[in-house]
């Protein structure tokens, strides 16, 4: 088993270090190789996704990714910006299915900005299509407007598009995931305005006929954004496009207490996967040792389950996380009165201790 480790920028290096220590505590046999990605790779090699990093990721059984980006790169030409590294990895590895589970752990009910009764017991799964939509559609760019409200003015444009097979395959992923859960899928679209999403809705409905045991409903994205904070537990599996999934998953993160709690798995059709927290490089707290490493540690658990066929090891990590939360340990983002504030490293230490001392009670 080979894991490509790509820590990236900002808090990426801090949180991936903790996830690696947790993996090492499991006494499994695997090889890791670390490479630069994002702004760090741009500084060293002049490109955010050097060929050598891409090759390492392609050849590995799984990729453990931190985060990329920093405000200082915002003026670079787009193809050299750190974010192009994660987009390039998703595209080149064909990682079309992004699982973002939003689970509110019992101990963190008070950490969320929502009322406890709305989120206690929350367990929803956002499935975000990850290699299509307006993120990758061509053409895109700048030009002089020939029509519209201001002919002759400078304008910018992107292309929203989905092909039938792209929608079909993510719909199958969602229905199959729902079969292992509460057998309910909500497809989120903007079919009332966008042709791309009427097409999406029609195809998801067609695919849904192959899964008569799964209940399907459709919701417009603006309503979904509202329902997620009004009655989040009404959702089970949510399937949506790339851009809506990006936005709704950050919103869902707050239902779990913090974006520092939301892991993710991005899979291709061979179950090769990239595992990363749903958050970014958090330049505002980078280097301070205060970032929450749990989303990355939980992403490592997803990696063991989905790509490395080690479900028991994944369970051990998840139980260890619950154990440290039950001990009252909290990084600043999930801290509340009566709990103990710890830094990134101490949180990692506590998870490692829970695994190695086998004191986990679940
Ligand atoms: N997959 C990725 O690599 C990825 C994802 C999102 C954003 N980004 C990039 O990250 C940079 C910063 O973006 P942003 O500020 O919009 O989003 P962000 O997710 O980095 O941060 C948003 C807020 O959440 C906090 N936060 C995030 N992760 C945290 C953690 N583990 N523990 C505690 N607090 C945490 C941050 O301090 C910040 O206040 C940008 O360059 C952006 O493009 C990268
Ligand atoms: C950094 C950016 C390209 C990325 C996205 O938009 O997909 C991020 O926000 C995410 O959610 O993984
Ligand atoms: Mg995002």
Q: Catalytic: 189?
A: no
- Residue 90 Cα to ligand 3 middle (Å): 13
Whose C-alpha lies nearest to ligand 2, atom 6? 246
Q: Catalytic: 250?
A: yes
Nearest ligand, CA 91: 2
Q: Model-level pTM?
A: 0.96
Per the annotation, binding residues are: 90, 100, 128, 222, 246, 250, 280-292
- Least Cα distance to 76 among 114, 38, 104 occurs for 38
Pairing of strands 62-67, 2-8: parallel
CA 127, 324, 228: angle at the middle one, nearest 5? 30
Name the token pair of 209.
Answer: 């006929």
The active-site residue, picked from 250, 322, 341, 349, is 250
pLDDT tens series, the chain, 362 aa: 999 999 999 999 999 999 999 999 999 999 999 999 999 999 999 999 999 999 999 999 999 999 999 999 999 999 999 999 999 999 999 999 999 999 999 999 988 889 999 999 999 999 999 999 999 999 999 999 999 999 999 999 999 999 999 999 999 999 999 999 999 999 999 999 999 999 999 999 999 999 999 999 999 999 999 999 999 999 999 999 999 999 999 999 999 999 999 999 999 999 899 999 999 999 999 999 999 999 999 999 999 999 999 999 999 999 999 999 999 999 999 998 899 999 999 999 999 999 998 644 44
Which residue carries 């079309």 as its tokens?
96
Nearest ligand, CA 281: 1
- Residue 279 Cα to ligand 3 middle (Å): 6
Distances (CA, A) of 180 to 150, 176, 238: 52, 7, 14
The Cα–Cα gap between 51 and 35 comes to 11
- DSSP 8-state secondary structure symbol assigned to residue 47: S
Pocket test for ligand 1, best of 7, 250, 282 (most atoms within 8 A of CB): 282
Q: Catalytic: 59?
A: no
The active-site residue, picked from 135, 162, 211, 275, is 135
The Cα–Cα gap between 35 and 16 comes to 12
Computed over its alpha carbons, how large is the radius of gyration of the chain?
A: 20
Distances (CA, A) of 162 to 96, 165, 204: 12, 8, 12
* Secondary element (H or E) of residue 55: helix 51-59
Q: What are phi and psi of 327, to 5 degrees?
A: -70, -10
């Amino acid at each position: 088993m080979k894991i490509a480790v790509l820590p990236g920028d900002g808090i990426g290096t801090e949180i991936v270090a903790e996830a690696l220590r947790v993996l090492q505590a499991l006494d499994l046999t695997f090889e890791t190789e670390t490479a630069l990605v994002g702004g760090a790779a741009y500084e060293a090699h002049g490109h955010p996704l050097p060929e050598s990093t891409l090759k390492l990721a392609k050849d590995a059984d799984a990729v453990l990714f931190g985060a990329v980006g920093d405000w200082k790169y915002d003026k670079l030409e787009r193809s050299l910006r750190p974010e192009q590294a994660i987009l390039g990895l998703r595209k080149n590895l064909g990682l079309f299915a992004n699982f973002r589970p939003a689970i509110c752990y019992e101990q963190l009910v008070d950490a969320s900005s929502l009322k406890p009764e709305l989120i206690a017991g929350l367990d929803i799964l956002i499935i975000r299509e990850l290699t299509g939509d307006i993120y990758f559609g061509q053409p895109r760019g700048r030009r002089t407007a020939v029509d519209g409200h201001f002919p002759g003015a400078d304008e910018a444009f992107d292309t929203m598009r989905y092909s039938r097979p792209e929608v079909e395959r993510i719909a199958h992923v969602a229905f199959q995931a729902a079969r292992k859960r509460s057998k309910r899928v909500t497809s989120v679209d903007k079919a009332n305005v966008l042709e791309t999403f009427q097409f999406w809705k029609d195809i998801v409905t067609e695919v849904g006929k192959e899964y008569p045991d799964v209940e399907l409903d459709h919701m417009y994205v603006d309503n979904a954004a509202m329902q997620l904070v009004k009655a989040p537990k009404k959702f089970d599996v949510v399937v949506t496009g790339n851009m809506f999934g990006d936005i709704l998953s950050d919103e869902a993160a707050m239902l779990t207490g913090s974006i520092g709690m939301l892991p993710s798995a991005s899979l291709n059709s061979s179950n090769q996967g990239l595992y990363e927290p749903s958050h970014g490089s958090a330049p505002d707290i980078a280097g301070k040792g205060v970032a929450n490493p749990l989303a990355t540690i939980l992403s490592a658990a997803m990696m063991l389950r989905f790509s490395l066929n080690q479900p028991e090891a994944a369970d051990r990590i998840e139980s260890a996380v619950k154990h440290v939360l039950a001990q009252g340990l909290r990084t600043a983002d999930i801290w509340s009165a009566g709990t103990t504030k710890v830094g990134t490293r101490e949180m990692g230490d506590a998870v490692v201790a829970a695994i190695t001392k086998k004191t986990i009670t679940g």
